[in-house]
Amino acid sequence: MMKVEIWSDFVCPFCYIGKRQFEIGLEQFKHKEEVEVLFRNFQLDPYAKKKQEWISIKYHLPSMVSHMKKQKH
């Protein structure tokens, strides 16, 4: 049995592309039933929400900022 651990950020588009490519490759693998896949999460940028708020303020998107502030509470 082969164990494969995949660490990714589920909101990262590149992680999703890599996951899909892995799944496609695994489907074509002759011994796929001998592979155990374990998905683990990893936050690439823990400050992404703060950056999003800053960008919203910079580009005058107050509705986005107010919506994000409501989610914090």
Question: CB of 69 within 8 A of CB of 56?
Answer: no
Q: How confident is the model at residue 45 (pLDDT cuts 50, 70, 90)?
A: confident
Question: CB of 39 within 8 A of CB of 4?
Answer: no
- The predicted-structure confidence for 49-62, as pLDDT tens digits, reads as follows 665 565 666 565 55
Question: CB of 13 within 8 A of CB of 48?
Answer: no
Q: How confident is the model at residue 43 (pLDDT cuts 50, 70, 90)?
A: confident
Mean of the pLDDT values across residues 1-8? 94
Average pLDDT, the chain: 79
Mean of the pLDDT values across residues 13-18? 88
Domain boundary assignment for the chain = 1-42, 45-73
